């Protein structure tokens, strides 16, 4: 197959979730013998590139097109069309012109487009190509949960406004009637209960050659939580972990530590580092040693959506996991089989204490979790699901 990806930003690893997802998908398709190109917008330019050269580390650009001034398009999308800011920032009408030029030069069996840029192509007719929209995750579900949990009235008002705009945009995407993919069954159920069969779940894969167990590392009496630490769900979870879970456990385990690992910690997260035994690392080149050394990965997310890659990575690394129900919704672990799934703070404290006291039990949880990741989120399994989604549409 010939496949064209249209993405929010340049695909890359490491990067933001949409960048990593696109890079993984393109890499696996190229490895399976497909021809893959990608089109993305950056600042006032659109770029058409070859995926195989990007993966090899020497990006080959086939063409580019520059726009004179794109600010009016962003303002029009936000104010007149009422789309959310996260979508409006990807308004770039010249993409339609560029795509028509590309299609006059090359035929694609599949055009795989990330949902936030779909509004740039609402009037485009591509008779000989199949359009597949990648929702990535249900952004409105994350916003809805965040609006329920936030205590700041101004934040609740802002989140509520963005939620209304996002629901309007998701209705627009749904109305296009295109084949679609999304990362998790929970997000699929939330967005498309009426046309459930038209949406394929294609998760992100976990590179098991990189995220592997290391039995040589000695475990420390420590809790660990990872992620981008200025992302609202992670900020809330980090604060909850330290104040409501770690500190009560610290009274029972005086040597216990708590590691908050991830780039761009907010001021609220940075302040947690002043508490005895708490480490706020900031950006680290390699997160793996933190999970290899920690006794347990604790993830008390109260809002968020999509597939929680950080949990799957921790499981692949052999770290036992205590997690919230919302976190598990995009994964599907069984409670007390692959992980301990909790709701309130007391459950988190009890389950984490159980793992800390019983190393044999912790190891058995970790082994089963890693097997689960291997069976459901390996590169080839996920690639097969993506290709099957394409073939169903074609």
Q: Sketch the domain layout of the chain as residue ranges.
A: 2-205+378-393, 220-376
Q: How far is CA 280 from CA 131, 162, 229, 323, 370, in A?
A: 43, 30, 10, 20, 26
Domain 2-205+378-393 fold: Rossmann fold (3.40.50)
Q: What is the CATH number of domain 220-376?
A: 3.40.50.2000
The reply to whether 2-205+378-393 and 220-376 are identical in fold is: yes
- Contact criterion met (CB below 8 Å) for 135 and 109: no
- C-alpha distances in Å from residue 12, one per residue of 51, 116, 295: 11, 18, 31
User: What gap in Å lies between CA 168 and CA 88, rounded to an integer?
Assistant: 13
* Beta bridge mates, 40: 7, 47
The tens-digit pLDDT sequence of the chain (394 residues) is 999 999 988 998 888 889 999 999 999 999 999 999 999 988 888 999 999 988 888 778 888 888 776 788 889 999 989 999 999 999 988 888 899 899 989 999 999 999 999 999 876 667 788 889 999 988 898 899 888 888 888 888 999 999 999 999 998 888 887 889 999 988 888 887 666 667 899 999 999 999 999 887 788 999 999 999 999 999 999 999 999 999 999 999 999 999 999 999 999 999 999 999 999 999 999 999 999 999 999 999 998 888 889 999 999 999 999 999 999 998 999 999 999 999 999 999 999 999 999 999 999 999 999 999 999 999 999 999 999 999 887 7
Angle, alpha carbons 354-359-363 (nearest 5°): 105
What does pTM read for this prediction? Answer: 0.89
């Amino acid at each position: 197959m010939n496949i064209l990806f249209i993405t929010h930003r340049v695909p890359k690893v490491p990067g933001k979730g949409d960048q990593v997802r696109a890079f993984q998908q393109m890499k696996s398709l190229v490895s399976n013998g497909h021809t893959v190109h990608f089109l993305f917008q950056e600042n006032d330019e659109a770029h058409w590139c070859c995926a195989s050269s990007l993966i090899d580390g020497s990006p080959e650009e086939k063409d580019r097109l520059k726009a004179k001034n794109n600010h009016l398009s962003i303002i029009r999308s936000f104010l007149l069309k009422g789309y959310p800011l996260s979508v409006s920032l990807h308004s770039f009408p010249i993409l339609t012109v560029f795509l028509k030029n590309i299609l006059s030069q090359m035929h694609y069996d599949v055009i795989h487009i990330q949902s936030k840029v779909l509004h740039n192509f609402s009037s485009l007719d591509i008779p000989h190509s199949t359009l597949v929209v990648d929702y990535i995750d249900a952004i409105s579900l994350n916003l809805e949960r965040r609006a329920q949990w936030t205590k700041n009235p101004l934040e609740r008002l802002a989140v509520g406004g963005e939620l209304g705009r996002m629901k309007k945009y998701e209705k627009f995407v749904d109305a296009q009637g295109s084949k679609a993919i999304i990362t998790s069954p929970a997000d699929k159920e939330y967005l498309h209960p009426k046309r459930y069969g038209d949406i394929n779940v294609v998760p992100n894969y976990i590179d098991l050659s990189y995220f592997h167990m290391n039995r040589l590392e000695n475990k420390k009496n420590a809790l660990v939580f990872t992620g981008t630490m200025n992302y609202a769900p992670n900020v809330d979870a980090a604060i909850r972990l330290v104040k409501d879970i770690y500190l009560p456990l610290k009274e029972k385990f005086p040597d216990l530590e708590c590691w908050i690992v991830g780039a761009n910690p907010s001021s609220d997260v940075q302040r947690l580092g002043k508490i005895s035994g708490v480490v706020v690392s900031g950006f680290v080149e390699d997160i793996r040693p933190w999970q290899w050394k920690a006794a347990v990965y604790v993830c008390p997310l109260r809002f968020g959506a999509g597939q929680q890659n950080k949990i799957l990575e921790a499981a692949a690394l052999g770290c036992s996991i205590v997690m919230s129900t919302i976190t598990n919704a995009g994964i599907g672990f069984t409670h007390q089989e692959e992980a301990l799934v909790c709701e309130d703070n007391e459950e988190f404290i009890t389950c984490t204490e159980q793992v800390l006291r019983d190393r044999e039990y912790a190891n058995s949880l970790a082994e089963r979790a890693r097997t689960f990741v291997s069976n459901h989120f390996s590169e080839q399994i996920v690639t097969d699901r993506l290709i099957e989604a394409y073939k169903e549409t074609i």
